[in-house]
Structure 1
């Protein structure tokens, strides 16, 4: 998940084998009726309007910057602290006192990174070369929100990345204050810890001590997910970026485990089982969101919508209980404790939207993930990257039909 707004432009290697609140425009005063304009030069009015517009833009920029200055200073301080506290992985591995489990995870992460760069062509080769101890705390927190009676993610606007449906913080208290502010304004809002974030290639992202507790398949998934952000990023298209990273992370981690342990290994069998379980939960969550979306489309009062949505959500909890045998690991049992919250549901959808289209392109590329990533990257500058992918799929299908395949 991207936190910072800076980004260097990075392309995958082709494998050898807070949003503005107003659209108002500041204009100069209009002369009173019958009063001649003071300027009589041919283009004086245009020049004056441009001058006023420029002044207005500058004024708005100053106001916005001033109101966000504390936030940006907070981000800068947090990032600088992380950079200064980060030690090279080679130095960490050289410590005799290093815990065996941490050593194994660091070496495993190194193998994942080599696979990501050499086999998958993912960018960000300077990432994860240093280690940061979070002292058991999450590295950051994200806040997101939505009206409770419809799915409409609250948007924040930042330079470079454009509009995004979340706001990142290095301090939990700041995140909770933002969440509470949005809740007081009538939004569904959440503040949640994040396991990692991407600076989109602007800084070297660290391996975190909290990652060392991850199972191997989950750690590989996380690293490949974040490296995807450093490789392919569509400005202002959060659901595209996160869903793409989800697909690459899950697909790539399974490929890595097969390479690392063997296709029939216990590690791969376990990873496949977990992935199938995750896909079943995703199907359930999409059904929840679809049912609520249909409810929100009805012309009902806000109060009636809120009453009915609780009943809908409770019904899906009962459905989960009834199909518990399909979720033997219990890793999704937390769903039973969720309160109905549009921000939480949108956060889930943000990472799991239309994964089938990425899968279809992957199969069209002969199950060659590096080639598929290159294809995904070709759509990052499109006005609508989803439409771009759909056109790519359709074009390939038509080409195959003409070829007789």
Structure 2
């Protein structure tokens, strides 16, 4: 259980939040209330990691994972210049495989994500629910109104430093590499966050995550892990490239003057091409690696492409920015903060220009 002063502080913040809610029920008061309730649940379940590490009742497996988390958390502040605060210095078991489920949506003939606007966070390209049933119900309602939707479970959670975010049981089943990279990613959001610009925010955190993980693994002398991570990073870049190329073709289709029936047929054809391209990439370059098979096993739609555009669209430009300062992370943070002061259009022109990463697998012709 949290300390009494923590609980009182949280309740005060909730009171301020509900004042905002009263003035903004048109944005979805019930949705925001469930979000506040979910945050209260996390707060009530968190326990200090330092205390768990000294408690003889802590299971050895859990102790080992928390020791690793604690070391990576210290590295994040001391070596990467990420915030040295109470985030990810506590642990909470939420008793489920995911902490939240995100809903993404687009119009039937659009690759542009729907956005929802809320106090504090600004406008984002998803709605997060602490109960899967609520997420699926909301997605069904959108589909009935003609939208494409996708629902995905999320194992990590961040309030951008507004609360003392805990490490969750949903994260501890990951590999060491994924666990450390997620800590770096979520802490990066506390360094730079522009309300309403998800693409920029996620790309910045992704670049920090990449740089941080390379340095973390090198510091541990885990060169084999670093090699394996670089190989996976290359596969992921090729996977994202496939999605972004499909997104561009669909965007051109939706902007065309074709009748809706023909657009629907061509839309399904393009997703079929995407699956074929993946199969070729897997066979010809990945030596049969099947790590993305589950992603492609679904009936795909526009909404499944939202994450690729959101998380990776601005990554190449921000990587170049980091390279321009010779990998100096504090200087990179300063330059990114300057970009954050610009208009969305200026940021997009500087680092988010449309660039589709090259894919060397054989592409099917239309």
Q: TM-score, normalised by structure 1?
A: 0.77
* Corresponding residue for residue 113 of structure 2: 153
Matches within 5 A, 1:1-400: 64-65=24-25, 68-123=28-83, 125-262=85-222, 265-325=223-283, 326-328=285-287, 329-384=289-344, 387=347, 390=350
Query: Cα distance, 1:377 vs. partner?
Result: 1.9
Q: Quick check: 1:190–1:343 contact (8 Å CA) kept in 2?
A: yes
Q: Quick check: 1:124–1:231 contact (8 Å CA) kept in 2?
A: no
The verdict on how the C-alpha distance between 1:361 and 1:171 changes in structure 2, with shifts beyond 3 A counting, is: same
Q: Comparing 341-350 with 376-385, which one deviates more in the overlay?
A: 376-385
Query: Cα distance, 1:79 vs. partner?
Result: 0.9
Query: Cα distance, 1:312 vs. partner?
Result: 1.2
Q: Distance in 2 between matches of 1:244 and 1:338?
A: 29
The alignment partner of 1:201 has SS state of: coil
Instruction: State the structure with more CA Rg.
Output: 1
Deviations 1:184-235 (A, max 9, x none): 1100012211111210111011100111111111111111111111111011
Q: Flag the structure with more relative contact order, 1 or 2, with Cα contacts below 8 A and sequence separation at least 6.
A: 1
Q: Quick check: 2:97–2:155 contact (8 Å CA) kept in 1?
A: no
Q: Distance in 1 between matches of 2:243 and 2:155?
A: 22
* Corresponding residue for residue 52 of structure 1: none
Query: Cα distance, 1:389 vs. partner?
Result: 7.3
Query: Cα distance, 1:364 vs. partner?
Result: 0.6
Q: Which ranges of structure 2 fall in alignment gaps of 5 or more residues?
A: 1-12, 14-20, 354-366
Query: Cα distance, 1:62 vs. partner?
Result: 5.7
Deviations 1:230-273 (A, max 9, x none): 111011101111121122112211221111225xx211111111
The alignment partner of 1:362 has SS state of: helix
Q: Quick check: 1:86–1:131 contact (8 Å CA) kept in 2?
A: yes
Query: Cα distance, 1:381 vs. partner?
Result: 2.4
Q: Quick check: 1:120–1:369 contact (8 Å CA) kept in 2?
A: yes
Q: Quick check: 1:217–1:271 contact (8 Å CA) kept in 2?
A: yes
The alignment partner of 1:379 has SS state of: helix
Q: Distance in 2 between matches of 1:76 and 1:231?
A: 23
Query: Cα distance, 1:369 vs. partner?
Result: 2.6
Q: Quick check: 2:27–2:117 contact (8 Å CA) kept in 1?
A: no
Q: Quick check: 2:81–2:330 contact (8 Å CA) kept in 1?
A: yes
The verdict on how the C-alpha distance between 1:365 and 1:286 changes in structure 2, with shifts beyond 3 A counting, is: same
Q: Which ranges of structure 1 fall in alignment gaps of 5 or more residues?
A: 1-6, 8-60, 394-405
The alignment partner of 2:40 has SS state of: helix
The alignment partner of 1:127 has SS state of: coil
Q: Distance in 1 between matches of 2:60 and 2:349?
A: 44
Q: Distance in 2 between matches of 1:120 and 1:187?
A: 41
Query: Cα distance, 1:179 vs. partner?
Result: 0.6
The verdict on how the C-alpha distance between 1:69 and 1:134 changes in structure 2, with shifts beyond 3 A counting, is: same
